[in-house]
Structure 1
Amino acid sequence: VRVLVDAWGAKYYLTSALEKEMCDAGVEFLKYRPEVAPWHFRAHRLRRLHRKLCHVDGRLAFVGGINVIDDHNTPGHVPPRADFAVRVEGPVLPAIVQTMQRVWALVQLVQSGTSDVPLFPDLAHGERVGTQTAKFVTRDNLRHRRDIERAYLAAIRTAKHEIIIANSYFFPGIRFRHALMAAAERGVRVTLLLQARVEYVLLHFATRALYGQLLQAGVIIQEYHLSMLHAKVAVVDDHWATVGSSNIDPYSLLMAREANLFVRDRDFNAELKRQLDDMMAEGSRRVVPGDWSLRPRWHKAAIWVAYGVVRLAMGYLGYGGNEWFARGMKRPS
């Protein structure tokens, strides 16, 4: 049993006692980028491991956005996070296993100078199971910087009828926003299911800086309030879908290691769409354009300040730049 966790993402949950218990039981345990030093910040430390992957004997795998934490242990008895993962078998398995083994080997090499796992494992092609067509797509900071974003954009730009995106942390760049607005303006029903609850205050308000232009273009925005939304999924028309770890924000699209499964299959699409429709019907509220423009001044001010801070932070860190923020963009309203 091997477990690799991101040192920053797990620092509040992974106690020394738990780590010792796993190691004593024979679990091989590694931390990705353990050099977390709050008083000596470096921009490259934001390049974290955000993937949520598991494989068992190379026979099956799980891909999604679900963290291994106790969601029931929450104050106020809040329901567990709304999240998704898929079980995977078949020809796409070797790509998943190779990706996991490669990162494990890299971490071992960096931390100990040696690895018992080959950096480029040679795995047999998986046998076909079922009828779905699927592709495993990753994001890293070398050859695959834009792969997940490109897959999204290709689907959005060719959509004919409907797009539903459920994403917990939503702050896309200019190209992504324009693709969504262009789809809505050509008659595609575009729905965003976003977070209503406040988890990260700055991003919560900065996201709302984009509402005005999206609503004006005809994009439907639903805010999920039943529990914390942690989903990173989408469906396009009746045949395209994705489930994975990548949010549509600067962290996921510019910095972190991410992994999504993209599926072309009508039955898979229909099942995921049914679940998203149920979430919207049972636990979300639609943002009404007329009501949005009548928000109190303090709310508009908070949004403007948050947007400005995020813009300054990304400029300071050297990420995004003009790809994320349009020059002369009107004050969020």
Structure 2
Amino acid sequence: MIPNNQVTLLPNAEVYFRAMEAALDRATHSIYLEAYIFENDNTGRRIAEALRRAALRGVKTHLLIDGFGSIRLPKSILVYLEAAGAKVMKFRPKTSPWTLRRRRLRRLHRKIVVVDQTIAFVGGINIIDEIEISSQPSMRLDYAVRVEGPLVKAIHDSVHRVWSRVAWSRLRPGCDKENDRSVASKEPKGLMRAAFLERNNIGHRRDIEDAYLQAIRQARREIMLASAYFLPGWNFRQALVKAARRGVRVVLLLQGRTDHRLLRYASQALYDSFLDAGIEIHEYHKSQLHAKVAVIDEHWATVGSSNLDPFSLLLSLEANVVVDDEKFAIKLKNSLEKAIDIGARRISENHWKIKSTQLRLVSWLSFGLVRLMIGIAGYAPGIKPGQVK
């Protein structure tokens, strides 16, 4: 944990994009933007124009998008940005739908913006029109944070490392030069303790999962988790069950409307054991739930890009901010409670146990298929039978 930060919760895409665009328009030295999905829609074109304006006034502008997540973004937009002086690259641009090889499944799933090494945005919101993709009058339930203070340096250093590695892998070594006149400020911007956590395969394989586990095992009163895709490993599941059995209120907010049926059905295979332990399960139906957040004991909170499933915890490049601050945690908790009250349905133990045999069979088959996919990809060496990592 690094002290003296100001971390502001951005509770939806509208607030997030407004704050991000304002920061991009104030940039004077450098911009780094990482995105899994960057769409050619109103939001995508709006952010592209902000990046272009920055590049035209001499700001060193860097855009890194995932080759699979942003596969539909036209090359013309990238050329348009490059013509203004922006540097643009794709993370693993070659994709194939016919293979489960590691390179295809390992994606840049982070959503980060760093401006002038003084302000950063981290969260789970992609560059996309939120309302249109959910086919609902409400935006998807999703979160991000704005960070100011000493923690920004850690975030900037991380995005620069990823940018440099991609530049060298694309045989574009000149693209990794910093050429930035700004210096990350260590001046206090607030009183909040916070940490930046990343997941990659170079020294940070389990940082995000370990932070969750430590907080869950230390919980004394309440654990609230919201995860778009929820299929954690054995140790994670047991930590939640043990917390519930020692009297901690454990609340899970999961998808009710989904864009990936396989993962939803696989998650439902876990409901029996969770409900038996007294864990509350709420499925969000008002719109699509895309959040990856948690609040524990009203002081520990995290917001980021990492789901609690094998693809985030084992494969993708992810980034979360952890905040140890009572006011921030209570604000996020209140937002989650409101979402539960107005948009979710609680799964009762009795109701779930009378579900059809067919649904239970589909859930367990989905659970097994996801395990098989991870095993084929070679990311689950040494896993004991019955465990999902």
TM-score by length of 2: 0.80
Partners of 1:238 and 1:77 lie apart in 2 by 31
Per-residue deviation, residues 36-93 of structure 1 (Å, max 9, x unmatched): 1334552232111111000111110001101011123347444221100000000101
Partners of 1:33 and 1:40 lie apart in 2 by 14
1:69 aligns with 2:128: yes
Kept in 2: contact 1:175–1:323 (CA 8 A): no
Partners of 1:250 and 1:326 lie apart in 2 by 14
Supply the RMSD in Å over aligned alpha carbons: 2.0
Superposed counterparts of 1:252-263, under 5 Å: 252-263=312-323
* Corresponding residue for residue 360 of structure 2: 300
1:185 aligns with 2:248: no
Superposition deviation, residue 26 in structure 1: 2.9
1:82 aligns with 2:141: yes
* Corresponding residue for residue 272 of structure 1: 332
Among 163, 166, 170, the residue aligned to 2:230: 170
Per-residue deviation, residues 103-129 of structure 1 (Å, max 9, x unmatched): 11111111024134359x996552111
Superposition deviation, residue 270 in structure 1: 0.8
Superposition deviation, residue 255 in structure 1: 0.7
Moved over 6 A (4+): none
Superposed counterparts of 1:112-191, under 5 Å: 112-118=171-177, 124=184, 126-191=186-251
Per-residue deviation, residues 148-167 of structure 1 (Å, max 9, x unmatched): 00000000000000000000
The change in CA–CA distance for 1:76 and 1:199 in structure 2 (over 3 A counts) is closer
Kept in 2: contact 1:138–1:259 (CA 8 A): yes
Kept in 1: contact 2:252–2:281 (CA 8 A): yes
The worse-fitting range, judged by mean Cα deviation, of 109-118 and 296-305 is 109-118
* Corresponding residue for residue 92 of structure 2: 33
Structure 2 residue identity aligned to 1:5: I
Partners of 1:206 and 1:285 lie apart in 2 by 19
Among 213, 226, 230, the residue aligned to 2:286: 226
The change in CA–CA distance for 1:49 and 1:75 in structure 2 (over 3 A counts) is closer
TM-score by length of 1: 0.93
1:244 aligns with 2:312: no
Partners of 1:238 and 1:74 lie apart in 2 by 32
Kept in 1: contact 2:265–2:367 (CA 8 A): yes
* Corresponding residue for residue 209 of structure 1: 269
**How many residue pairs are counted as aligned between the two chains?**
326
The change in CA–CA distance for 1:279 and 1:70 in structure 2 (over 3 A counts) is same
The worse-fitting range, judged by mean Cα deviation, of 253-262 and 107-116 is 107-116
Kept in 2: contact 1:174–1:324 (CA 8 A): no
* Corresponding residue for residue 48 of structure 1: 107
Kept in 2: contact 1:136–1:260 (CA 8 A): yes
Unaligned ranges ≥5, structure 1:
none
* Corresponding residue for residue 159 of structure 2: 100
Kept in 1: contact 2:100–2:377 (CA 8 A): no
**What secondary structure, in the 3-state scheme, does the structure 2 residue paired with 1:251 have?**
helix
Partners of 1:75 and 1:117 lie apart in 2 by 37
Superposition deviation, residue 287 in structure 1: 0.4
Partners of 1:76 and 1:260 lie apart in 2 by 28
Kept in 2: contact 1:4–1:104 (CA 8 A): yes
Kept in 2: contact 1:314–1:321 (CA 8 A): no
Kept in 1: contact 2:134–2:140 (CA 8 A): no
* Corresponding residue for residue 285 of structure 1: 345
1:200 aligns with 2:260: yes
Partners of 1:216 and 1:77 lie apart in 2 by 33
Unaligned ranges ≥5, structure 2:
1-60
Structure 2 residue identity aligned to 1:225: H
Superposition deviation, residue 323 in structure 1: 4.3
1:317 aligns with 2:388: no
Superposition deviation, residue 239 in structure 1: 1.1
Partners of 1:194 and 1:108 lie apart in 2 by 37
Partners of 1:314 and 1:39 lie apart in 2 by 15
Kept in 2: contact 1:172–1:324 (CA 8 A): no
**What secondary structure, in the 3-state scheme, does the structure 2 residue paired with 1:115 have?**
helix
1:19 aligns with 2:117: no
Among 42, 46, 67, the residue aligned to 1:7: 67
Kept in 1: contact 2:304–2:319 (CA 8 A): yes
Per-residue deviation, residues 181-216 of structure 1 (Å, max 9, x unmatched): 000000000000000112111111001000100110
Partners of 1:126 and 1:43 lie apart in 2 by 38
